[in-house]
Structure 1
Amino acid sequence: MKKLLLLLFLLTTAMQAYAQGVAITGTVQSATGNAGLPGASVLLTNAAAVTTGLVTDMEGNFRFDNVVPGKYTVEVKYLGFKPLSRIVQVQNETVNLGQLKLEEETTTIKEVQVVGRAPLGQQKGDTAQYNAKAFKTTPDASAEDLVTKMPGVTIQDGKIQAQGEDVKQVLVDGKRFFGDDADAALRNLPAEVIESVQVFDKKSDQAEFSGVDDGNREKTINIVTKEESRKGQFGKVAAGYGTDNRYMVGASVNFFNNDRRLTVTGLTNNINMFDFSVGEAPGGGMRGRRGGWGGGTPDGINVTNTIGLNYSDQWGEKLKVSGNYSFYQRENDNNRTSVRDYVNSELNQVDMEDRTSNNTSGNHRFRMRLEYTINENNRLLITPSINARQSRSSSFTLGQSFDDNGPLNESRNSNTSDDGSYDLNNNIYFSHRFGKPGRTISASLNTTYSASEGDSYQEYSITDFLDETKSETRDQYTRLDRNGTSWRSNVTYTEPITEKSRVEVEYNIGNRINDSDRRTYDFVEQTGTYSQLNEPQSNTFRSEYLTQSVETGYNYNSEKIRLQLQAEYQQATLNNDQVFPTAYNLGRTFTSVLPSAELEYKISKDKNLRIDYRSDTDAPSVDELQDVLDISNPLQVRQGNPDLEQEAENRLALRYRAFNPETNKVFFAFLMGSMTQNYITNSSTTGPFTLSNGEEYGQGARFIRPVNLDGYWNVRSFFNYGQPLNFIKTNLNLNGSVGYSRIPGMIDEEINYANTTNLRAGIGLSSNISKKIDFNISTNSSYNFVDNTLTTTSVNNNYFNQSTSLRLNWIFWKGLVYRTELNHQYNSGLSESLDNNFTLWNMSISKKVFKKQLGEISLSVNDLLKQNVSVQRDVTAQYVEDVQSSVLQRYFMLTFSYNIRNFGGKLPDDLNNGGGPRGDWGGRHRD
């Protein structure tokens, strides 16, 4: 390994001595101003019709490196502007095209006063770009309110999704904003500062740096801001107080000065707000999207205090810096009721639990990103991060088990714990491009260290109604210390073989070491101390997972087709070493051949098809490997399995996108399937049984241990269709999905397959009338068929869920604003003992005040009908469980909020009319 790295270093040094990069540079600007246009598409086409593309940075600059001499066409496109093209003759020196001025594109319809309807967007390869002007929102809307009006962008289970996948990153003018927290980024930008929105699958940092596509993608949204919004201060502050001592104080303020951008956020409240939003309705009750599908709000009653900082800047010409820090402190009180029906229970065993808990937690998180351009051919990326967490919790659980003959047992369980942990992570990546276009070498090193410690106390009692000898009471103290170290490194070399293709070779090596020391002590009444060591529940354990792999690949890229083929040979060694209570060592070596492929076909400039195939392996966790008894739930005893093997997964995905710029119709389809060998699942044994330490458990108890089983399948499809309905000035969104999962599990030494089929359909209408009225109407229905192969009776529970919602924001008269949000949840097929159906109704009446109507006084009510609940279902290969948790219900609140808008002495166009264009919402307006 050392010799290989030395050889690669010498090659890099030698080649750099004579590497010569010829570049084409320029700046894209608006013809009516001097500021650059970020996110503009720049295409470079050679005489052989091979096209290379990129987008401009925040200042409108672009640069093509390693361009060989010849004749080229440079074409520039930007939404809302006329395209521009230039012929360039490249010789042996850098070509600077200077300022490329784009003229705005408008369409005039004879004598009608309305300037042509704003184009919805366009499809650029695999990037969907939407024009923010085409989607009308109220003056107080956030970026989240805006993007969820766009085709294919929805909120599912409290998360932003685009084209059927969770959004992992949000960029602002091509730069990271709030790190990896996509929700925070969307909630801290007002919609009025946005020019356009791009939705695409972002390549990994390594692929972007080296130019070598590794196939790793993350669904990403890039927000391009308006020119006049890139210098100034904007944000929102708010404070409110209500009935039952409910309160909220929050702020989000952005300081933008071109490249230098600072955002400060803060929030304290007891109304279940987890973060502050510039678009948040006063009182906080209008944002019900952060919960699960069965309820509109987070579980339990939460008191939250948070502060956040986000910073990004360009230090000189070579260094880009960004970072963010966040702290949150949260106290959660929750009452939880669950009903669990077991598979393969001859007498239909049912477990019921009532749990009351209190948890207080705090978290510090710091992220930083340094991008250093050493020169035209060498780049360095460093991304350190630090996390520190502390939590204290207490809970009491009353559990009962029944079957057809009556009660089996009852358990009472009291727990308290105090835990702390931290982790340090750093990633260093270096990339070098040689003089020959396409010849590159890159290397990376990722290191992680984590540590945690905790103390917990548990008192429990079990009453066995069938056999009193199996009843017991126990009082225990547990100390747990863990630490983990991991590192991973790779070296990649690429070599062009033709103008359109190249090959690559990659070497990877990584190691992960986890140490765990767990000691459990029983309470001794004679001494009044926890001094009796419980050996079966104690363990000292080390797990080491070493992987090495060699990968070869072939890449082909033309104007229509991009093809990538890769094959990886991997050798992995898993070594488990137990020191206490009994010493043993178990080592295994796995060899795998992991192929991957990706095909992208650009059918036309507005249609795109992509097919991905991936294979991967995954090692079991320390908890799954550690051979120690866990009796935190006395009727569900768990124990790890050091004999577990690594999982092997194969995935195939197909994506199709189509956009019609003439009709503004958008269609997206997604199909994904995966199968896993050696899938890590649970094996459960029904009582009565005897543990290895001689303890006996009666009927109704269960012993659970992880095992490897084959037969896991998961297939999912999704489609979205969107188009404007001009005759009623709304946007229509249709979506649907079909999913199937097959989850294996073992019950009493028999294999069960939980087969679940999910059918889902939804329709939504979002207004596009004016900036004084904004509404969304949607309904989503989901039907689930559950079939367990070991039973044909009670637990084959098919269930149906329907969620119908209406959200209205109406500025109806002289700054008076009415807001309402209705959400009706209908659930069928869940446990009868739970509250399955409810209507959540939030509303407020507000008055805008001050100059430009930047202030607002609001009276709001949360859960007017006092019906809010939280219900969810969990399906596994062992059981089907329904859970209901406590939620925040009705309260009233009076709130004052103020929008900060200071853009170099002028407001954005959206605010110049005091909160929207003149005229009633039903009258004539100008797009």
Structure 2
Amino acid sequence: MKRIPLMIICLILVALISKAQSGQVKGQLTDSTASHPLADATVALLNGKDSSLAATAFTDKKGGFSFTGLSAGGYRVYITYLGYKPIFKSITVSAAQPVVDMGTIHLQGKGITLGEVEIIQEVPPVVVKKDTLEFNADAFKTRENAVVEDLLKKLPGVTVDKDGVITAQGETVKRVLVDGKPFFGDDPKLATKNLPAEVIDKIQVIDRKSDQAQFTGIDDGNTEKAINITIKKDKKKGVFGKASAGYGTDDRFAVNANANAFRDNRQLSFLGSGNNVNNMGFTMQDVFNFSSSNNGSGGSNGRSGGGGRGAAQSTISNLGGNSTTGITTNWNAGFNYNQDFGSKLKVNGSYFINDVKTETKNQNAKQTFTKDSSYYYNSTTGSLTENKNNRLNMRIEYQIDSFHSVIFTPTFSYTDGNTNSTSYYQQQDINKVTSIDGSNTNTSGATSPNFSGSALYRQKFHKTGRTLSANLTYGYNTTDRQNYYKTLDNYVATDTSSAYSSGYDRKTNANNLGRNYQATITYTEPLMKDRYLELNYSYSNNYSSSKNLTYDASASGKYDVLNDSLSNIFENTFSTNQAGVNIRTNKFKYDYTFGMNVKWNSLVNDNVSRNTHITQNTVNYFPSASFNYNFEQGRRFRFRYNGSTTQPTISQLQPLPDLSSSLYVQQGNPNLKPTFTHSLMAGYNAFNRSSFRGIFVNANATFSNNQIVNANRTDDSTGKQYTKPINTNGVYSLSGSMVNSIPIKNHVTSLNLSTNVSYKRDASFTGEDKDFTDITKYYTRNFSLTEGITFNYFFKELFDVSTSGSVQYAAARYDILPSNNTNYFNYSFSLDFNVNLPAGFQLGSDMTYTLNAGRAAGYNVNYTLLNGYVSKYVGKKKQGQFKVYAYDLLKQNISISRTTGENYIQDTQNMVLQRYFMVSFTYFLRKFGSNNNNNREGPPREMRFMRPPGGGMPGGPPPGGGGQM
């Protein structure tokens, strides 16, 4: 009930502001003869006080335009059209005259001489290109000292979740570039969470093709959703950044600093931070996953019956204030360097180091199905994990001459990790009677250096369209790991005389090595004006070796008794030869590619310990196809199909039982075949640059041959479960998403509707035979439907509010035991607002309410996460800020997830960060070159220049003049 007044106040504020913004400006454009209406002319509405851009419109087929939802005040209207002289008029919207009709406006041809007039360089808020959607950052106002992430949240069709993951046009953004250059490698968060929004000129959402495809012009299917951030020219000569420090209750702390020194052809960036409030600020890469030791009994990661060695699993929901489970203490620092040495050499390099310690506690409730029964498993696990990682990324691009170029991209990382965990668990039969009560303690430590990279040579010939390229990729990694397992299982019986205990105390030394390389040659030849032939050939070789030595503890307590049955040395080599031919046709509105490929696969497995040798050879034929059609500016359809091969992993091939869990024993399979996957993608994007309305639809489908799934069996006498990965067919997945962006009032109010649907059919095998030969195949079907709505409103730099809601329905259907079919729902609502108050004060809050239904007993928990802050700017130029922040005011934060596999359902509740208060101070550094507007609030004004007497514009018409953008 305490939250209701806050929501009412917010709604009243929105209503009052909306009422105040009821003005309208309209008009119609024709030529000087008044006989021809002028369609698609650019009409910019500027604020009268500072000439900042208020809104942009484009005239319709009849030459009409209209701006609605305007507040009272003075405005200036700037109209441009190709081949005509611009018009610049002042108007006033008032309570007495809320609607200003400018009537019919006649544009004069270029031969007319105008007197002296002030011209504003008007930049359109959105430019639609073939594969790029470009947003003008100044058209989307953010609060003072906001970062790129805050700016992205205001863009149509773009969402950013609480963990900083960016989704654009329904696809996850995997790369963020700065002025077209890498920023700390491929980690999007390092750019979006550290660069200030005020230095950004444009945000470009791109369907980025591979370096190879960009060179040849032939789509190779390797595309990804990327964002390119361009820096304002006047911000490329200076230094900017910030430093902050905060301390709070329960010894919570947070410190961070970043500094950027940009020049026209050079970028230098430094960042560093440390905190124990689960604020990562970067994407975890190249770190160990100690999930097996986190859950020695097969709990949280669902390894048994649907995880671990190749089985499919699906986490339907993971809801909470912060999906980072546990309490994490993180220290990191990094340096990024970009420089162009003339027009031929471009160099990028970055180094990043982090140290992450995470304490976790979780409770698991798991139900595993057999042919005619089911078993229950409950566990409580606590762990402490530390991962230290160093990674170095480089990209060197050298343009030898106008016909030859080379791109070299080496990457190096070194990881050192360790974990300690303890689990307590219970195994129950179908009547939920406990049959096993046990515990285990696991300790693991590992180090792993990794080196990889690629070298791409590209050559153009004098004949346009004739190209030759050669690409070499390589990788080398080793992992040295020590695992200590100590388990005690108590077998409970109604007859106490038949109860007994068993356990083991073991150490495993594991040394894994991986080495791979691939060479690809591509040649293109023009067949006619708009048609090209592509020939390609590639060879790849992947070598891996695994040496596992397991020792039992002797009476002396030392691990000196070699366990032959759990020790093994084996080597695996997987090589492929692929040849393909493609035809690409480029037309004005569309392009398409179709071709045929053949792939020869060879797998050689040598079990050194057991002196066995396995050889497998397979051949795959598959077409390749893509089609792109541009209906008109802003509307585009895409289709793509490709095939890919995935080889089994070392753990899936290793013919040893994984005894990290005494109740869920997993064994490898050296007879596994590689999986071949057919992938289809279709997408439709439509964006209206005038109304800002957009719809983005994506559909995906995958069909797998020789998919690796689990075969499962249960020992009825002990309750233990055993799994083994095998190949099967009949596995596929379907998914689709639709995002509908609806502006309500110019660019200050928007409504986003989203729909996500998925259907997946997994397979599993169940039987009683110890050799997994007499087993029966079953299918599991998972369906999920999520509907979401987001409403955003901001009023200049004074006030912004965002609300969102979602409902998710999920269902699982099991052939193995239909009585365990399940349906469940998740509901979520959030509210986020920020207000700028007089005297430099700011007030903000965000609230999330989550409701769960249909889960296991004890996991249907409803909760509210409420955060808030009050801040105060200090200094004449507002270069300092004090802030008081409160997290989880109601102390209700919680993390609950449901995971479904081929033959199991698992609910998990994790320990999360709860209520704390923190006081912090931040200093903002802003030092640029000749710029008179560096320290003002809000976005910089547009550039001004004067039209000299007699017409004529210095340097030609303003960018985009004529409205044809």
Alignment partner, residue 316 of structure 1: 342
Identity in percent: 33
**What does the per-residue CA deviation read over 1:871-893, in whole Å, with 9 as the maximum and x for residues that have no partner?**
11111102111111111111111
**What does the per-residue CA deviation read over 1:6-55, in whole Å, with 9 as the maximum and x for residues that have no partner?**
xxxxxxxxxxxxxxxxxxxxxxxxxxxxxxxxxxxxxxxxxxxxxxxxxx
Distance in structure 2 (CA, Å) of the matches to 1:915 and 1:816: 19
Q: 1:248 aligns with which of 240, 254, 263?
A: 254
Alignment partner, residue 449 of structure 1: 476
**One-letter code aligned to 2:455:** I
Higher relative contact order (CA 8 A, sep 6+): 2
- CA displacement at 1:157 relative to structure 2: 7.5
**One-letter code aligned to 1:562:** D
Alignment of 1:868-907 (within 5 A): 868-906=893-931
- CA displacement at 1:109 relative to structure 2: 6.3
Distance in structure 2 (CA, Å) of the matches to 1:574 and 1:676: 19
Distance in structure 1 (CA, Å) of the matches to 2:718 and 2:486: 21
Q: 2:574 aligns with which of 537, 545, 550?
A: 545
Check if 1:575 corresponds to 2:604.
Answer: yes
SS of residue in 1 equivalent to 2:859 = coil
SS of residue in 2 equivalent to 1:375 = coil
**What does the per-residue CA deviation read over 1:459-499, in whole Å, with 9 as the maximum and x for residues that have no partner?**
10111224957731211111011111111001111100001
8 Å Cα contact 1:251-1:276 kept in structure 2:
no
**One-letter code aligned to 1:304:** N
Structure 1 stretch displaced more, 370-379 or 115-124: 115-124
Check if 1:645 corresponds to 2:664.
Answer: no
- CA displacement at 1:346 relative to structure 2: 4.1
Distance in structure 2 (CA, Å) of the matches to 1:903 and 1:687: 72
Alignment partner, residue 815 of structure 1: 840
Alignment of 1:399-418 (within 5 A): 399-405=425-431, 406-418=433-445
Alignment partner, residue 617 of structure 1: 645
Alignment partner, residue 433 of structure 1: 460
- CA displacement at 1:651 relative to structure 2: 1.4
8 Å Cα contact 1:720-1:735 kept in structure 2:
yes
Matched positions, count? 795
Alignment of 1:28-47 (within 5 A): none
**What does the per-residue CA deviation read over 1:366-412, in whole Å, with 9 as the maximum and x for residues that have no partner?**
00000000000000000001010001110001111112441111221
8 Å Cα contact 2:139-2:747 kept in structure 1:
no
Check if 1:714 corresponds to 2:697.
Answer: no
Distance in structure 2 (CA, Å) of the matches to 1:306 and 1:567: 47
Q: 1:259 aligns with which of 254, 262, 265?
A: 265
Alignment partner, residue 153 of structure 1: 158
Check if 1:564 corresponds to 2:583.
Answer: no
Using a 3 Å threshold, how does the CA distance of structure 1 residues 176 and 528 change in structure 2: closer, same or farther?
A: closer
Alignment partner, residue 365 of structure 1: 391
8 Å Cα contact 1:267-1:276 kept in structure 2:
no
Alignment partner, residue 137 of structure 2: 132
Alignment partner, residue 188 of structure 2: 182
8 Å Cα contact 1:209-1:379 kept in structure 2:
no
Distance in structure 2 (CA, Å) of the matches to 1:81 and 1:171: 34
Q: 1:680 aligns with which of 708, 713, 720?
A: 708
Using a 3 Å threshold, how does the CA distance of structure 1 residues 828 and 835 change in structure 2: closer, same or farther?
A: closer
**What does the per-residue CA deviation read over 1:45-88, in whole Å, with 9 as the maximum and x for residues that have no partner?**
xxxxxxxxxxxxxxxxxxxxxxxxxxxxxxxxxxx997989xxx
Alignment of 1:93-172 (within 5 A): 110-111=91-92, 119-156=124-161, 158=163, 159-172=165-178
**What does the per-residue CA deviation read over 1:540-575, in whole Å, with 9 as the maximum and x for residues that have no partner?**
011100101111110100111111112111101011
Using a 3 Å threshold, how does the CA distance of structure 1 residues 903 and 161 change in structure 2: closer, same or farther?
A: same
**One-letter code aligned to 2:846:** E
Alignment of 1:725-736 (within 5 A): 725-726=744-745, 729-736=748-755
Alignment of 1:37-76 (within 5 A): none
**One-letter code aligned to 1:739:** S
- CA displacement at 1:854 relative to structure 2: 2.1
Distance in structure 1 (CA, Å) of the matches to 2:79 and 2:129: 15
Using a 3 Å threshold, how does the CA distance of structure 1 residues 193 and 553 change in structure 2: closer, same or farther?
A: same
8 Å Cα contact 1:522-1:532 kept in structure 2:
yes
For structure 1, the 5+ residue unaligned runs are: 1-79, 86-102, 278-290, 689-697, 918-927
Alignment partner, residue 724 of structure 2: 705
Distance in structure 2 (CA, Å) of the matches to 1:267 and 1:671: 39
Check if 1:801 corresponds to 2:826.
Answer: yes
SS of residue in 1 equivalent to 2:396 = strand
Distance in structure 2 (CA, Å) of the matches to 1:357 and 1:655: 43
Alignment partner, residue 547 of structure 2: 517
- CA displacement at 1:834 relative to structure 2: 2.8
Alignment of 1:463-862 (within 5 A): 463-466=490-493, 468=498, 471-525=501-555, 527-580=556-609, 582-688=610-716, 698-726=717-745, 729-748=748-767, 749-794=775-820, 796-834=821-859, 836-862=861-887
SS of residue in 1 equivalent to 2:866 = strand
- CA displacement at 1:212 relative to structure 2: 3.4
Distance in structure 2 (CA, Å) of the matches to 1:353 and 1:452: 30
8 Å Cα contact 2:852-2:860 kept in structure 1:
no
Q: 1:340 aligns with which of 351, 362, 366?
A: 366
Using a 3 Å threshold, how does the CA distance of structure 1 residues 915 and 546 change in structure 2: closer, same or farther?
A: closer
- CA displacement at 1:317 relative to structure 2: 2.3
Distance in structure 1 (CA, Å) of the matches to 2:758 and 2:364: 26
Task: Give the structure-1-normalised TM-score.
Answer: 0.83
Distance in structure 1 (CA, Å) of the matches to 2:274 and 2:932: 29
Distance in structure 2 (CA, Å) of the matches to 1:109 and 1:150: 29
**What does the per-residue CA deviation read over 1:656-694, in whole Å, with 9 as the maximum and x for residues that have no partner?**
111222322111111111111111111111113xxxxxx
8 Å Cα contact 1:82-1:104 kept in structure 2:
yes
- CA displacement at 1:256 relative to structure 2: 0.7
Distance in structure 1 (CA, Å) of the matches to 2:924 and 2:645: 50
**One-letter code aligned to 1:480:** A
**One-letter code aligned to 2:908:** V
**One-letter code aligned to 2:573:** E
Distance in structure 2 (CA, Å) of the matches to 1:903 and 1:276: 27
Alignment partner, residue 44 of structure 1: none
Using a 3 Å threshold, how does the CA distance of structure 1 residues 272 and 498 change in structure 2: closer, same or farther?
A: same
- CA displacement at 1:345 relative to structure 2: 6.3
SS of residue in 1 equivalent to 2:877 = helix
**What does the per-residue CA deviation read over 1:115-135, in whole Å, with 9 as the maximum and x for residues that have no partner?**
999854132112212222222
SS of residue in 2 equivalent to 1:497 = strand
Distance in structure 2 (CA, Å) of the matches to 1:880 and 1:272: 28
SS of residue in 2 equivalent to 1:209 = helix
**What does the per-residue CA deviation read over 1:734-763, in whole Å, with 9 as the maximum and x for residues that have no partner?**
111221111111223222222111111111
8 Å Cα contact 1:250-1:276 kept in structure 2:
no
Distance in structure 1 (CA, Å) of the matches to 2:335 and 2:445: 28
Alignment partner, residue 29 of structure 2: none
Distance in structure 2 (CA, Å) of the matches to 1:216 and 1:542: 31
SS of residue in 2 equivalent to 1:588 = strand
SS of residue in 2 equivalent to 1:853 = coil
**One-letter code aligned to 1:439:** R
Using a 3 Å threshold, how does the CA distance of structure 1 residues 157 and 547 change in structure 2: closer, same or farther?
A: farther
Alignment partner, residue 237 of structure 1: 243
Distance in structure 2 (CA, Å) of the matches to 1:516 and 1:81: 70
**One-letter code aligned to 2:156:** P
Alignment of 1:247-396 (within 5 A): 247-275=253-281, 292-344=318-370, 346-396=372-422
- CA displacement at 1:699 relative to structure 2: 3.5
Distance in structure 1 (CA, Å) of the matches to 2:490 and 2:637: 61
Using a 3 Å threshold, how does the CA distance of structure 1 residues 512 and 84 change in structure 2: closer, same or farther?
A: farther
Distance in structure 1 (CA, Å) of the matches to 2:875 and 2:136: 31
- CA displacement at 1:359 relative to structure 2: 0.7
- CA displacement at 1:318 relative to structure 2: 0.7
8 Å Cα contact 1:677-1:709 kept in structure 2:
yes
